[in-house]
Structure 1
Amino acid sequence: MNVDDSVVKAAGLRNRGKLQKVVETGALVFSWIVMGMYAEVPGPTLIDLKYRLNTGYEELAAALSARGFGTFPGCIVGGLLVDKFSGWSHLMVALTLDVAAVAVVLMPWVPNVQYIWMLCFVSGFVQAIHNAAGTRISLNIWKDKSASPLILVHLGYGLGSFLTPLYSDPFLGEMIQNTRDSDITLNDTNNFRTTSISPDRSEETYYITNSKIEYAYAISGIATASLSVAYFVFQMIENKFIKQADINSVQNKKVENELRNEIAIRKEKELARDKESELRVKIKDGKCNKLKAMLQMINPASCAKGRFWYGFSILSSMFFHFGNVGGGQYLVSQFVRSFSIDQLKFSSTDGTMINTSYWISFSSGRFLFFVLAKWVSVKVLIFVETFGAMCCAVVMAIFANDNSIALWVLIQLVAFFWGPMWPTGVAWTDYHMESTGMGMASQMFGASVGSIFHKRLNGYLYDNIGQVTYLYHVTGSAVFGF
């Protein structure tokens, strides 16, 4: 039985009972938790990964930025799939979780950064589809009351990212500078060596011992793949509604076809004469209709009630907003542990703890603004978030370059205000225009550009100018966001 697009879309937009809404929303929260686990695991393991691959931060940051390159086609494919097959969104999430699980498990086993680039590209590609399909599921469930549920769902990302440093810490290696008293067996697969240039331009050799980060990546992969089972089950439930909707559609079409056949028989003789010319016209019209449908799908007016320039201005604003928020988020989270160890000489455990506390504050911000979203306008929320992040980042750049306590305190405030910016931005967009698949794709497209820009720039500045540039980069991103 062939199921047309309208049937699939209608099934996806069906009304759900309260219990089913809660269960599906809970599953979405868990899907964002595992998204945080597979996307953010390079953060706490960044130093180990650098030493294991015997490379620098600039090269590794460039490889990790491939996630942004993967998001480019992922945005387009995800937007088209969500628009075309809204009723199959659960299947999309399930498949993307499985692919992401394979990519993250392979990451610590590759021999060089080129393979890291390829795996991050794949991970970014499926993450974009995961984001688009998951957001569509949430909008289908809650419709015009989606602001608070969206923030709650995105809270899951912070929770997953908070868990990542905790289960990664036991498997992180210990960094040791080469000395005469060092007794390290380099044949051990858990010991790695690298050479770096100190501020006085002299060469220093470091070792990292007892690194077993492959276990941390395996935990992320197993959790991600396990959740996909639930989404396969959800899709099976959805298919029942699709089949029922298809049966109703077939019955309606049968009646319509009978009427059309009666009219067609009467006009058969007249149409026979012009059959050849009519066929040419139909082929031409069919091509035109397909082209119009494709152009309509990417037309900003399609999600702004026919107002092209209004839709274009909203999508453009959101492109820059999500580019700065998404890229800046990766910048702040994935380098905070490295900065604390390299610049402020934190121990490995303390570096992990500040990374963990960052995600606690990040998640706390999302939760608080999730509550506030029920009574406060999204326009007010987005102003408070961007202004708060900017003020805290400026103060952090002034005081935290040589003060560990200042870093501990101020990075929490930055995370608190940064956390809810993404879901609030989604809700703000949905408030002003219909959130179509291509509209969500433009958000992810902006995030991918921002991720590439921030990671590559910070990797270059960090290696070639100094670790303190991390603070200035975070501040610049926060100021631009406001």
Structure 2
Amino acid sequence: MENEPESYRFRIIQTVWLFYGFFLIGFNNGILGPTLIDLQILVQVEMNLITYIFFVAGAGFIMGILLCFVAERYCSMRLVLAVSIGLGSVVNIVLTLSTNYVYLMILFFLQGCTKGIADYAIMTVCNSLWKDSKGVSFQFVALGGGIASFLAPFIAEPFLAGKHSVSSSQVTVDQPVYTSQRVYNVSSPYGSVICTNYTLTGEPSCYTYGETQIQGAYIIIGMLSAPPAIAFAYYYYLERRKGVIPYEEFNRVSFGTFYKGSFLYLTLLFLFHIPIFGLCLAYGDLLSPFGVKGKLQLNKYKMATMTSLFWGSFLLGRVANLVLSRYLNLFALLLMNFAGLLISVIVLVVVGEKREDVLWFGTTILGVFAATYLPTVLAWSDQFMPVTGSVISTCLVASGIGEILVPFIGGKLFDSEGPGSLMTLMLVTVVYEIAAFVGLVIVGNLIRQKSENRDC
């Protein structure tokens, strides 16, 4: 990492730009859910094929983290940030300019790469700027992603294709139709039709969409994400002028100085982080299809608003945890969030598919209590083992694996088992997280006891 002695004011300004840099990540996380059906309309494929977006974007995210981990030893992280944010903005602008399915998959892979590079670089620079106050700084920087995720569905809503109901008597087998499970060939006076049997009455529901204008939403988020690239290009210019050493691994700690339990702790930390953000992405990305194609049969505009509410409550959760971290220790904060998270998913599993008001309520509570884990658990872990660049990359790679697995599994279950499988997946994932956290607490306390015995 860069080893220049930086003034407090200079560090504050850079941290604000890191906060803004997280907008690229937040926009990418928040835009997919409300636009998923429109992307299906754009490239004219089945739902089970469009869900491969989760897989390729997640694979790109992991690739980006690994590339950045290597680049850290040879390049300034400010330069890496400038290039990744700039390239990521361009990718979003051109992402939906073609109706070709393969083109779309390639661009989502590149989107994932730039997101992974930016995520790792932002956390690394933040860690080097605030070595002694990671909790507040990590949560503040990540707050930028929450704000962008909240704004993304509102940006998308004006560009979504309109929905038109079609009577089943008007539908005949002739042209492509896209369903929750498989493709049938039907035609209607309105063109391509989507039919689903997932209704409260059990009767099939058929509808069609007009032409999508979703390209406009992706162009807007690309343009809004770009300014930090200019800022970090300027910071890189300042480094070059001052002759700053480009790399020095911050908080360098030899693995030989770790206690034996540290390796077990790092393994558990890796396992814990696998579903930590994949859960949020799966819910945010599949919430709109859940409401539209599920038993409640809600319209896309209402579901875009609900998706905004989810990311808005996610943002609220990050703000609340940022404030509460000044008054509560991080362990108490995490326990409170786990309790709320478990309650929310139980409510959604039991009643969420049957009552719209409960779906709104459960979505809000889920967003609030799912927000804090990635930055907070890392900061909390610093008492058991040093949070180095290697530890950050380990956690982000795990998170990237989860960003592939959880939404991809959710999409496949949604396609094969129906919309209700989404809530069951949320419950299973939360139980897994709680079990992994219990393991972290046990091993962390053992490490602390060994450390105290050594000091005696």
Alignment TM class, shorter chain as reference: 0.7 to 0.9
Give the Cα separation in 2 of the matches to 1:222 and 1:116: 19
CA shift in 2, pair 1:398/1:198, >3 Å: closer
Q: Deviations over 1:335-364 (max 9, x none)?
A: 112212222222222111111111111011
1:138 matches 2:126: yes
Which structure 2 segments of 5+ residues have no match? 177-189, 435-456
1:317 matches 2:268: yes
Pick the aligned partner of 1:369 from 305, 313, 321: 321
Amino acid at match of 1:430: D
1:174 matches 2:162: yes
Give the Cα separation in 1 of the matches to 2:157 and 2:198: 29
The offset of 1:109, in angstroms, is: 2.6
Give the Cα separation in 2 of the matches to 1:77 and 1:164: 27
TM-score, reference length from structure 1: 0.79
The offset of 1:305, in angstroms, is: 6.0
**Higher mean C-alpha deviation, range 231-240 or range 308-317:** 308-317
| Structure 1 residue matching 2:93: 3-state secondary structure | helix
Amino acid at match of 2:67: V
Pick the aligned partner of 2:284 from 333, 342, 346: 333
Give the Cα separation in 1 of the matches to 2:432 and 2:374: 15
Give the Cα separation in 1 of the matches to 2:135 and 2:38: 39
Q: Considering only aligned residues, what root-mean-square deviation do their CA atoms show, in Å?
A: 2.6
| Structure 1 residue matching 2:95: 3-state secondary structure | helix
1:231 matches 2:232: yes
| Structure 1 residue matching 2:277: 3-state secondary structure | helix
1:50 matches 2:40: yes
| Structure 1 residue matching 2:276: 3-state secondary structure | helix
Matched with 1:150 is 138
Q: Deviations over 1:288-342 (max 9, x none)?
A: xxxxxxxxx9xxx956562263332222122122211121111111111221222
The offset of 1:24, in angstroms, is: 0.9
Give the Cα separation in 2 of the matches to 1:303 and 1:202: 64
Say which structure is richer in helix: 1
Quote the sequence identity (%).
20
CA shift in 2, pair 1:32/1:192, >3 Å: farther
CA shift in 2, pair 1:360/1:197, >3 Å: closer
Matched with 2:422 is 470
Q: Is the 8 A contact 2:41 2:212 kept in 1?
A: no
The offset of 1:433, in angstroms, is: 2.4
- Which is higher, the Rg of structure 1 or of structure 2? 1
Give the Cα separation in 2 of the matches to 1:479 and 1:198: 30
Matched with 2:192 is 193
Amino acid at match of 1:234: Y
CA shift in 2, pair 1:406/1:39, >3 Å: closer
* Pairing 1:24-39 to 2, within 5 Å after superposition: 24-39=14-29
The offset of 1:436, in angstroms, is: 2.6
Amino acid at match of 2:50: L
* Pairing 1:207-356 to 2, within 5 Å after superposition: 207-243=208-244, 302=253, 306-307=257-258, 309-343=260-294, 344-356=296-308
Pick the aligned partner of 1:445 from 377, 389, 397: 397
TM-score, reference length from structure 2: 0.83
The offset of 1:142, in angstroms, is: 1.1
Give the Cα separation in 2 of the matches to 1:196 and 1:350: 19
Give the Cα separation in 1 of the matches to 2:387 and 2:104: 33
The offset of 1:29, in angstroms, is: 0.9
The offset of 1:366, in angstroms, is: 0.6
1:40 matches 2:30: yes
How many residue pairs get aligned? The number is: 409
CA shift in 2, pair 1:134/1:85, >3 Å: farther
